[in-house]
Amino acid sequence: GENVEQHPSTLSVQEGDSAVIKCTYSDSASNYFPWYKQELGKRPQLIIDIRSNVGEKKDQRIAVTLNKTAKHFSLHITETQPEDSAVYFCAASKRNTGGFKTIFGAGTRLFVKA
Amino acid sequence: DVKVTQSSRYLVKRTGEKVFLECVQDMDHENMFWYRQDPGLGLRLIYFSYDVKMKEKGDIPEGYSVSREKKERFSLILESASTNQTSMYLCASSFIWRDSNQPQHFGDGTRLSIL
C-alpha cells in the first residue's frame, strides 16, 4: 500500500550547523509534497512544499529537493537555531477517487543545541 | 487566517461509549481530514471528506465513522470506544485550487483517553 518513510527519527545538531531530513514515498501518482513543523504542544504548521514539476525550492534557510525517479525528497535547514527544535513531518499527496489523500511520514524530532 | 476549531482539547470516556469529536473550519474548504497521532507513528489518516456527505476511508478507519452534513463541520465518531483508541486526534482542512491540492490547516487536537 501507500507508504512514506522518513529518516532519521531523531536528529541532534549544534546551533549553526545544517540539518537534513529524508523521505521516500511508494506511490508514483503522488504529486504534492508538503513539510510540516510541530512544536511541543502545538498544531503542525506548513513550512515549505514542493510539487512534482519542480526539483528544488528554497525559502530563506529552508530548502526542499525532489527526485521523482527515485521517489525521494529531502528537507534541508541551514544555519540552525534553537527555535528550529521541533518535530518535522514530510507528506506525499495525490488525487484519490473524489478528493486528495495525504500520507505522512512518522516524523523527525530535531534538537538544536545552543 | 484559517481557523480550524476542535470542540475539546481533552476528553475522557469509558470503554464502550459512543464518542463524538467535532471539527469546524471557517474558510469554506472543500477537504477535511481526521488523523490520529501516536508517538513514533506520525499522523495516520482515519477518514477524509472532499464535499458535503462525501467521505473516503483513510489507512486506519476500523472502529471509526464520520459525518459531514455541512461543509464547515466534520465529525469523527467512535462507535464503541476501546482503550486502543486512546490517542491525540487532529482535524485538518484544505482547499482545492485549479484541481491541485493545497496545504492542510490543522486544529489544536483533542487528547482522548479511553478508560
Chain B residues inside the 8 Å CB shell of A105: 42
Q: Provide the pLDDT confidence category of residue A1 given band limits of 50, 70 and 90.
A: low
> Which amino acid appears at position A33 of this protein?
F
CB contact under 8 A, B104 and A89: no
CB contact under 8 A, B90 and A44: yes
Q: Cα–Cα distances in Å, from A49 out to A30, A37, A89, B5, B37?
A: 13, 12, 11, 24, 21
Report pLDDT for A11: 98
Shortest Cα distance, chain B CAs vs residue A35, angstroms: 9
- Of the candidates B41, B99, B103, which has its C-beta nearest A46's C-beta? B103
Chain B residues inside the 8 Å CB shell of A42: 108
Report pLDDT for A37: 98
Chain B residues inside the 8 Å CB shell of A64: none
Least Cα distance to A75 among A84, A83, A86, A63 occurs for A63
CB contact under 8 A, B33 and A97: no
Number of H helices, E strands in chain A: 0, 11
Task: Measure the CA–CA gap between B66 and B43, rounded to whole angstroms.
Answer: 18
Task: Measure the CA–CA gap between A31 and B15, rounded to whole angstroms.
Answer: 40
Three-state SS at B83: helix
Report pLDDT for B77: 98
The mean pLDDT of chain B is 93
All residues at 6 or more sequence positions from B48 whose CB lies less than 8 Å from its CB, including other chains: A99, A101, B31, B32, B33, B34, B55, B56, B58
Is the pLDDT at A67 greater than 70? The verdict is: yes
Residue recorded with cell 545538531: A13
Shortest Cα distance, chain A CAs vs residue B72, angstroms: 16
Chain B residues inside the 8 Å CB shell of A93: 101
Q: Are A47 and A76 a contacting pair, CB within 8 Å? A: no
Kindly give the pairing relationship between strand A86-95 and strand A72-77: unpaired
Is the pLDDT at B96 greater than 90? The verdict is: no
User: Which residues on adjacent β-strands are paired with residue A66?
Assistant: A73
- Of the candidates B42, B56, B108, which has its C-beta nearest A97's C-beta? B56
In tens, the pLDDT along A71-90 reads 999 999 999 999 999 999 99
Shortest Cα distance, chain B CAs vs residue A99, angstroms: 5
Shortest Cα distance, chain A CAs vs residue B36, angstroms: 11
CA angle A34, A40, A42 (to 5 degrees): 65
What's the distance, CA A51 to chain centroid? 13
> Which amino acid appears at position A106 of this protein?
A
Chain B's closest residue to A91, CA to CA, is B43
Is the pLDDT at A99 greater than 80? The verdict is: no
